Structure 1
């Protein structure tokens, strides 16, 4: 599945994060695809994701705790 990599608003970004993680949880995409997509989204939209070392309020409200835990772990994975 193809996603845009640059988003105009935090709500659009949150919606895509939800879609990507839900696709993974329903076994429609692989773990590698999910990780790569989330990393690219973070790289290209980091200011819309994180403010003052925490996820933005919009992302917290739209994505929920479980999804953001997954995103946090992916962001912390170091490039090999």
Structure 2
């Protein structure tokens, strides 16, 4: 799976987060790969993921609660 460092829009970030977490759930990614990919996307696109200390509306709508619960544990939010 190819994950870029930087994304142009919140929707692109949401799509890649969905892909990363979904691949993990179907055992295409290890725990370490999941953590590496989510951390890298978060660190390089933080402004598109978090506003006012919570997920942006687009990220919430596109990713859903279950995926964001996994992401939150990795990036230590909430």
Q: If the TM-score is normalised by the length of the shorter chain, which range does it land in? A: over 0.9
Q: Secondary structure at the match of 1:6?
A: coil
Which residue in 1 is equivalent to 2:62? Answer: 62
How far apart, CA to CA, are the structure 2 residues paired with 1:76 and 1:13?
18
TM-score normalised over the length of structure 1: 0.93
How far apart, CA to CA, are the structure 1 residues paired with 2:3 and 2:46?
16
Runs of 4+ in 1 over 4 A off after TM superposition: none
How far apart, CA to CA, are the structure 1 residues paired with 2:57 and 2:16?
16
The RMSD of aligned alpha carbons is 1.1
Deviation readout 1:10-31 (Å, 9 max, x if unpaired): 0000000000000000000101
Which residue in 1 is equivalent to 2:41? Answer: 41
TM-score normalised over the length of structure 2: 0.95
Stretches of structure 2 lacking an aligned partner (at least 5 in a row): none
Stretches of structure 1 lacking an aligned partner (at least 5 in a row): none
Instruction: State the shift of 1:2 in Å.
Output: 1.6
How far apart, CA to CA, are the structure 2 residues paired with 1:55 and 1:9?
14
Which residue in 1 is equivalent to 2:8? Answer: 8
